[in-house]
Structure 1
């Protein structure tokens, strides 16, 4: 049985392994631990894990953002959605995303936004199955080389 709960520091090594699957590159575990402490102290961040017993199968991060437009309702940005290759197509991602959506509702969010790499076609099908729709917008990213 898969349970969804907030991720704690004892799962950080397993989380870094999941992120290696996501980005095909290792994550500096020392930096991950430092930033995890910052995230845990900030109520705008939600970091969920999907567990089978003690095994971390997947994770998702949500960030609550305040808005100054219209009714000034907050919205959520979802990042770093990952499910282990060993656990895909077993409902793990669905449970993670459903739990995050419930948290967005609880916090009064107007909408949820996420981006996914153009090449991740299977992920796009998954997001659409959950009710996310591609909107005709352009996404831009600028990597800062000084960081």
Structure 2
């Protein structure tokens, strides 16, 4: 079943992030970030796939509304990840389908996502769902010191 994420999903999301996406963020930090994101339900959409029998979270999708002055608002997928033991069972497809339904409900006609060059299997998955690679780009980051 697909449902909106809850703060009690922190542990499952943290584990999926660590094992599937390579982000080793502590449970404390994951919970803190999740609390902040869940407060912004008009901008962030965080969905989880929960097994109907075990009630274990087996995947999640995080998207946000992205707005700019030069095009219509769109949904930007920030994360899509499925637990390794349940990959290949259609969970990612179901999460993306639900996001597409949500986009239609919000009168948004475009969804985009970024995926690292090395994630070839993910690229094939997105292409199978009808997504196209439109451009290649580099990401620039500057870490700022905190006060």
TM-score by length of 1: 0.89
- Identify the residue that residue 101 of structure 1 maps to in structure 2: 100
The question of whether the paired residues in 1 share the 8 Å contact of 2:67 and 2:73 is answered with yes
> Where in structure 2 are the equivalents of 1:61-140 lying within 5 Å?
61-69=62-70, 73-140=72-139
Number of matched residues?
143
Listed as ranges, the gaps of 5+ residues in structure 1 are none
Q: Secondary structure at the match of 1:135?
A: coil
Structure 1: distance between partners of 2:89 and 2:73: 31
User: CA, structure 1 residues 138+64, in 2 after alignment: closer, same or farther (shift >3 Å)?
Assistant: same
Shift of 1:31: 1.7
Q: Secondary structure at the match of 1:65?
A: strand
Structure 1: distance between partners of 2:142 and 2:126: 26
Structure 2: distance between partners of 1:69 and 1:24: 33
Q: What stretches of structure 1 move > 6 A for 4+ residues in a row?
A: none
- Identify the residue that residue 15 of structure 1 maps to in structure 2: 13
Q: Secondary structure at the match of 1:86?
A: helix
Shift of 1:110: 3.1
Shift of 1:22: 2.5
Q: Secondary structure at the match of 2:45?
A: strand
The question of whether the paired residues in 2 share the 8 Å contact of 1:64 and 1:77 is answered with yes
Listed as ranges, the gaps of 5+ residues in structure 2 are none
